[in-house]
Structure 1
C-alpha cells in the first residue's frame, strides 16, 4: 500500500465504504455537471430599471434552478464594447447559454453568435434569430400603449410627454405604442417625445423634464434607468406627474407616479434559463409574452384613478387581447427638442 497516493487511498476508502461515499461523490458530479449560464447587463444592475429587472430574473434563475451563473455589467451601450464583453464571457466561462439582456445588444449578439457557433445565445427584448440565437421578448409595448391611453385620459393641460435615452428597438417600439395609445384615447392631446441619448444622466433627464413642463406637459412617461431620478425630482418640484415603466413605481413613489407600465423584462432572462435547465431550449426562435400574462405585462394605476378611466382602460386592454386594436411599432411624428 505504500505505493498508493493520498488520492488513491481516498478513492479506495470510498469504494470500501460503499453507499456511504456515494452521496459525496454524487454531489461532486452533480455540481460539475450543472449547465453554465453567462449574462451581460449593459449599464448597472442596481439602476431601479431595465438592467436591475433583468439581473433579478438572472438571480432568481440561479437561486431556483440547477444552474451555475456568471455575469458582467457596467458595459457601455455601444456595439464594440458589447461584442468585447460577450466574447469575454464566452471565452472565459464557455457557457451552455450566453444571454445579452436588452435589444441594444442586437448587433453584438448576432456577431458573437457567428463567432461562437457552438454556444447558444439569447437576446432579451429582441426580435432576431440565428442558428444558435433566440430572442425572448416581454412585450412592454402593450403596457406602453395602455400608458399612453391613460395619460391622455388623465391629463389636465391636454399635453403629455415621453422620455427615453438611447434609440434601441424595444424603446422605439414602446414609444410608438405610447404615442398610439395617446392618439386613440384622445386625438386632441398633444405629445412631446424625446430621446436624450443617455439612459443614466440624471441632470440631463431633469433638463428635459423642465423643458417639457414649460411646453405644457403635466404627465411624463419615462423609459429611463438611473436618469429617471432626475425626472422624478423635477416632476416633484414642478408639481407634475409621471408614469413609470418596468416596475411598480406607483407603490414606490406615489407622490409623483400616477401609473406604471409594468413589464417584467426579467421574465425573459428567467424563462431562457428555465428552458435550458429543463432541456427545452430551442435556438432560432422568438418567444413572446404580453398582456395575456399579467404577472409579466400590465398597466398599474394609482388607487385614486377615477372609475370611468379604469373602465376605459380595461375595455381597451380587452380590445388589444382580442386583436381589435393592433399595437403599433413605428412612430413618424415630430420629436421634442430642448
Structure 2
C-alpha cells in the first residue's frame, strides 16, 4: 500500500472546518481518494489519479490519496478508514470494487461525504458517480461486428466487478446488434495487471479465431498488446484513446474518461449540489466523458454506421443492454 499525504496550500494549523459535510466558505476543499491499483497503469487507476489532480488544479482543493491496495473488501475498508479519519470533506473511492467497503465505512464516518466512482451504492452520506462505459463498449461491439473478418470476436477482463460485467455485456449486445452470427469469446482472467496472464489468454482467443479482442485491463494490457502484435489480431482498448498510441494494434478504443466522475463529484460538493443517496450517470451525451475512437484505417462506411448508432443511443432509440448469460472461457 502506498500512501500520499496532503498536498498543502496552507498549514494544517490554519485550517478550520465547519461541523457540516462541506468545508466553510473560506476554507479550501479537502478531498481524499482511494485507488485500488497502480496510479501509473495507463488505464483506469491512472485516470482516477488524473481526476484527483484536476480536483486540485481546477477547484483549488487540498488532496490526498492511497494507492497500491489489493481489491479485497477488508483491505479497502482499512484504507478508507485511514483517509476518513483525517477529516476531509470528501473521500472518493475509485472503482466499483469499493462498493461494499464504502457502504460500511461511510456509516462509520457520517460527517464525511463518500463517493464511489463507477459505484452502485448509496447512503445518507454516500453517492455513486458513474461514467457509462457500457455505452462506449456497446459502440465498440457494434464496430467489431462490422469489422471482423473471421466472425470471431473476443473480450478479456481481469476481476469480476460490476462495471466490468456491464462493459462486457454492453460490448456483447453491440456485437449482436450488427453481427448476430458472430462467435463471442469472453474471459475474466482474475487479474487486471498481470501481463503474463493477459498474453496467455489473448493468445488463446486468437488461436480460437478471434481477429478483434476487446480488452478491459489496467497494467496488464501490455501482454495482450504483445500477443496481438505477434499474431496479427487487432485490439479494442478502453478508458482512454489507445488508437493514438498504437494504431497498428488498436482498431478502436471505447473511451470512458472516468477522471470526470471524481472531478464532477468534487465540483458538485464545492457548489453545494452534491447529494447522498443518489447515483449520478454520465453517458454518450457528454462526449468528453464517453465516446468511441476509431483507428484511421477504419472504412468511412463503418464510421457512418457507428455515428448513426451513437445518435440512436443518445436519442433513446437504442437501449444499451448490459446483460450476458452466455458461456465463458476458464482462466
The normalised TM-score by structure 2 is 0.92
1:145 corresponds in structure 2 to: 138
- 1:181 to 2:174 alignment: yes
Are 2:193 and 1:193 equivalent residues in the alignment? no
Structure with a larger share of its residues in helix: 1
Tell me the residue number matched to 1:11: none
Q: 1:249 to 1:109 in 2, by over 3 A?
A: same
Give, in whole Å, the separation in 1 of the partners of 2:122 and 2:313: 26
Q: Secondary structure of 1:148's match? A: helix
Q: Distance in 2 between matches of 1:111 and 1:79?
A: 10
- Residues paired across the two proteins, number: 313
**2:42 matched to which residue of 1?**
48
Residue 40 of structure 1 deviates from its aligned partner by 0.1
Match of 1:39 in 2: 33
Query: What is the DSSP-based 3-state SS (H/G/I as helix, E as strand, rest coil) of the residue aligned with 1:58?
Result: helix
Pairing partner for 1:116 from 103, 109, 115: 109
**Structure 2 CA distance, aligned partners of 1:52 and 1:202?**
17
- Structure 2 unaligned residues grouped into runs of 5+: 1-9, 18-25
Quote how far apart the aligned CAs of 1:29 are: 6.7
Aligned equivalents of 1:147 and 1:30: distance in 2? 48
Per-residue deviation at 1:327? Answer: 0.7
After superposition, the CA RMSD in angstroms is 1.8
Distance between the aligned counterparts of 2:259 and 2:198, measured in 1?
24
The runs of at least 4 aligned residues of structure 1 exceeding 3 Å deviation read: 28-32
Match of 2:77 among 66, 79, 83: 83
Answering whether residue 221 of structure 2 is matched by residue 231 of structure 1, we say no
1:242 Cα offset (Å) = 0.2
Q: In structure 2, which of residues 198, 214, 222 is the aligned counterpart of residue 221 of structure 1?
A: 214
Look up the match of 2:121. 128
Find the aligned partners of 1:277 and 1:76 in 2 and give their Cα distance: 30
Mapped to 2, the partners of 1:158 and 1:270 lie a distance apart of 40
- Cα drift, residue 260 of structure 1: 0.2
- Structure 1 length normalisation: TM-score? 0.90
**CA distance 1:196–1:29, shift in 2 (3 Å):** closer
Structure-to-structure mapping, 1:228-307, within 5 angstroms: 228-307=221-300
Larger radius of gyration: 1
Q: 1:67 aligns with which of 56, 61, 67?
A: 61
